[in-house]
Every structure is written in C-alpha cells, then in structure tokens.
Amino acid sequence: MTDRSGAPVVVGVDGSPTALDAVRVAAREAAARHRPLRVVHAFIWPLYAASHGPVPAAPPDAGLRQEAEKLVREAVDEARKVSAELAVTGHVVDGAAAPVLVRESRDGALLVLGHRGLGGFADLLVGSVAVHLSARADCPVLVVRGEPRADGPVVVGVDGSALSDEAIGFAFAEAAQRGTSLVAVHAWRYPRPAGPGDIVPLVYDAEELAAEEERVLAESLAGWTERYPEVPVRHRLVAATPARALVEESTNAQLTVVGAHGRGAFRGLLLGSVSHAVLHHARSPLAIVRHRRGGDAS
C-alpha cells in the first residue's frame, strides 16, 4: 500500500495557455490542502527510425530540452504567483505524456490537467492526454477549463453507488475548503431494473418513484452532512438523463465532481458513460474520482 500522506498535487504542463490555467488551479488546491505542488512536463525525444543506422546515445534535440525546461520554469513561476509559501518543484520527465502522468498519479494526491493542450485539432472538446488520464489515473483528476473562478457552488453527481460516495466526500471537502455550498444532483427518468433479468413494471406511480429517488439522494448525503455541517447543501432531483442534468448544473458551478463510473452494468469500464459525457461537455472544471489501487490518501 502506498503511503500518500505527504503526497503532492501534480499538474501536467505542455506549454499551452490552458495548462497554465491548470497550474493556477493546482497551486490553489495544493495551498488549501497544505501539500507540495509538483509541475511535470513529459518530454519525448524526437523519434528516429531504426533503419537509419546506429542510434546516437542522445539524439540531437535542437534545443528542445532547454525549451521543455523553460516551459516548466515558467509554470513554476506562475504557481508561485498564486501562493508565495507554496512548496513547488518543476520536473522534465522523459517519456510520452500519458504513461508519465499515469506514473505520477500513483504517488499523487490529485492530478490537475488542462482540458486541452497544444494539440492541433481545434474542434476537440477534450484532448487525448486529458481523456486518457481521466480513465486511468490512480488518484482523482481535475480537468480545468478556463480561468479558475471563485463563485458558484460545487456540484456533485449522486447515483447511490460506492464511487459516487467517494465523489460526494471529495465534493464536500472542496466546498468546505472553498467556503461555498454544494448542489447534489440525482437524475432519474424511468423505473430501473434492479438486476439482470429483472422486469420493469409497465404501470408505476410517478410520485412514489420520485419519493424513492429522493430517498437515494438523502441517504447518500446523510453521513457527509454530519461531517461537514458548515457546508449548505441543496438537493436537486432532476427528471432528465444524468449527463444532461450534470452538464446543465455545471454551467454555474465553480467545480463539478463525478465518480469515474457509477452503478451501470459494465463495471469493467474505466470511465462510465455519464462521466465520459460530462468530461466532454462540462462547462466548468471537472473532478473525476475513483477508487485508489494503492489505498487511501486524501
């Protein structure tokens, strides 16, 4: 089991303005959690085809490494502007972004990324590194969109699953730390089969169902409201698909929080369909929470 009691907040940077937004958010998170901040740039040497003859010990990089070190230095300076007391270190790590950041996430308390980077496909909503880490990181991932904002509530998606419970815990801690309220969203539409082969009734009482869904929401929040009595909580029971409801609520939020997957049928999925849709369409920074492979660390 990894001991993450002194674990840093990690932020990935690639020289893009969006990654610098991520640095400012990461610096605030690290300061609020009393953790160090680790700024990481994954640097991959220009690749050479093996057929070109003997591979030099270190390929000529035309100053690329110095560029990488410079962009990390700039990111570290940006973090120090947020908090002068913050312990910040900058690192250029050899390797491709996705595997380097997955490794970083094993010892991290939180991984912060921009929703986009330097990639060339202008119409992408979320870049490939952010998508990969949202599904595979071993710590919570915060995907940042735009400048950090201090207004609006923290929004959390609740579905009664174990992971949504972790997401609720994360969301309460964030709301408490930011001094804001929490909006707990539970979306439902039709009677759900309780298990495989279950038969859904053709006739049902909508009011009774709504009361049942409200019970799911209230029970999911019960322990947490006792633990964070200072956080005002609003219940939002919405008759819509969960992804649509969460994207809608994310518009006015300063942070939206979901579990990496819910109580859906495909438990092997690394990212559930709701989390996947919200990752692509959320209108504010999104935290994706998952069970840790190496034990608890928050």
Ligand X SMILES: Nc1ncnc2c1ncn2[C@@H]1O[C@H](COP(=O)(O)OP(=O)(O)OP(=O)(O)O)[C@@H](O)[C@H]1O
Residues of the shown chain interacting with ligand X in the complex, contacts defined by CB under 6 A: 12-14, 16, 18-19, 22, 40-42, 97, 113-114, 116-119, 121, 124, 127-130
Among Mg ion, ligand X, none, residue 254 binds (CB under 5-8 Å by kind): none
CB of 42 to ligand X, least distance (A): 4
Q: Which is nearer to ligand X, 5 or 128 (CB)?
A: 128
By CB under 5 A, name the one of 99, 119, 232, 264 that touches Mg ion: 119
Residue 208 CA to residue 191 CA, distance in Å, equals: 11
Q: Which does 274 bind (CB under 5 to 8 A by kind): Mg ion, ligand X, none?
A: none
User: 95-134 burial string, b = 16+ CB within 10 Å, else e?
Assistant: eebbebbbebbebbbbbbbbbbbeeeeeeeebbebbbbbb
Q: Compare residues 10 and 253 and give the one whose CB is closer to ligand X.
A: 10
User: Quick one: tokens of 133?
Assistant: 């880490």
Contact flag: residue 12 with Mg ion (CB under 5 A): no
Q: Which two tokens stand for residue 174?
A: 């964030």
Look at residues 280, 85, 263 and name the one whose alpha carbon lies nearest to residue 188: 263
Tell me how far apart the alpha carbons of residues 221 and 164 are, in angstroms, rounded to a whole number. 10
CB of 24 to ligand X, least distance (A): 12
Output the smallest distance, CB 95 to ligand X, in A: 9
In the complex, the smallest distance separating the C-beta of residue 60 from ligand X, rounded to whole angstroms, is: 20
40 interface partner picked from ligand X, Mg ion, none, CB below 5 to 8 A per type: ligand X
66 binds, among ligand X, Mg ion, none (CB under 5 to 8 A by kind): none
Q: Scanning residues 38 to 97, which ones bind Mg ion (CB under 5 A)?
A: none
Q: CA 192, CA 110: separation in Å to the nearest integer?
A: 34
Contact partner at residue 114 from ligand X, Mg ion, none, CB < 5 to 8 Å by partner kind: ligand X
The one-letter amino acid code at 120 reads G
Q: What residues contact residue 216 under an 8 Å CB cut-off, 6+ apart?
A: 158, 159, 160, 186
Residue 90 vs 259, nearer CB to ligand X: 90
Give the three-class secondary structure for 94: strand
Backbone angles phi, psi at 290, to 5 degrees: -140, 165
> d(Cα 68, Cα 154) in Å, to the nearest integer?
35
Whose Cβ is closer to ligand X: residue 43's or residue 170's?
43
Cβ nearer to ligand X, comparing 146 with 191: 146
Piece of 117-125, 136-144, 149-157, 186-194 that binds Mg ion (CB under 5 A): 117-125
- List of residues contacting Mg ion (CB under 5 A): 117, 119, 127
